[in-house]
Amino acid sequence: MDKVIKQLNPKDRILKTVERLFCEQGYLSTGINQIIAEAQVAKASFYQHFSSKEALILEYLENYHNAFGNLLKQLDKQHQEPGIKIEALFDALADSVQKGNFKGCIFLNISAEFSEPESKPRQLIAQCKTDLKEYTEKLVLGALPADTKPEVAQIKATAVYLLIEGALVDSRIYHDLWPFESGKAAMRQLLS
């Protein structure tokens, strides 16, 4: 365990540990006993903070979603033009993927492990993806010329969202950033 994680309180050590384990092994392959051992917390401490492994994944996903929301707020503060915000979003996601060693989008990775659409983790992930889709659509609609037909604008907005999602998937498959660059170039074409 690295020095920074050792200094965290038990709950945060658990969350930081599962961030790595869920990315490396997946949710289903990661057991509570492994989490407890690697976070160096007592079993009682784990259950004091999380009633179950599902409660842990839900809090982890919620924290990840909140961090992503903070990133979007930061982009909104840094950039005025909607088109520039979309480019900055592509860049921020590429940077995040690269820092995470191309392990992919945690939402997509975890959702693949929950086959039931009604499961709480899957519903939370769907809400997170909906938030990204709505944010992207808002920016695209703001970046298009005012005389763009509404049905064309909506198609372009959805296409840009799908470019982002495709870049997240392909960057993991190819272990490279070219999907973000290609997605950004395609987005520029759609908005011109």
Q: What is the pLDDT of residue 80?
A: 94
Phi, psi angles (nearest 5°) of residue 95? -65, -45
pLDDT at 6: 74
Q: Give dist(CA 167, CA 112) in Å, integer.
A: 17
pTM (predicted TM-score): 0.89
Residue pLDDT tens, the chain, 192 long: 666 667 889 999 999 999 999 988 999 999 999 999 999 999 999 999 999 999 999 999 999 999 999 999 999 999 999 999 999 999 999 999 998 888 888 898 899 999 898 999 999 999 999 999 999 999 999 999 999 999 999 999 999 999 999 999 999 999 999 999 999 999 999 998
Burial grade of 110 (CB within 10 A; 0-12, 13-18, 19 or more): buried
Residue 175, pLDDT score: 94
54-191 CATH, one of 3.40.309.10, 1.20.1250.20, 1.10.357.10, 1.10.240.10: 1.10.357.10
Per-domain residue ranges for the chain? 1-50, 54-191
Q: How far apart are CA 157 and CA 43, in angstroms?
A: 47
Q: What is the pLDDT of residue 101?
A: 83
82: CB partners within 8 A, 6+ apart: 138, 139, 140, 141, 142, 143
CA distance linking residue 69 with residue 134, whole number of Å: 12
- State the architecture of 1-50 in CATH terms: Orthogonal Bundle (1.10)
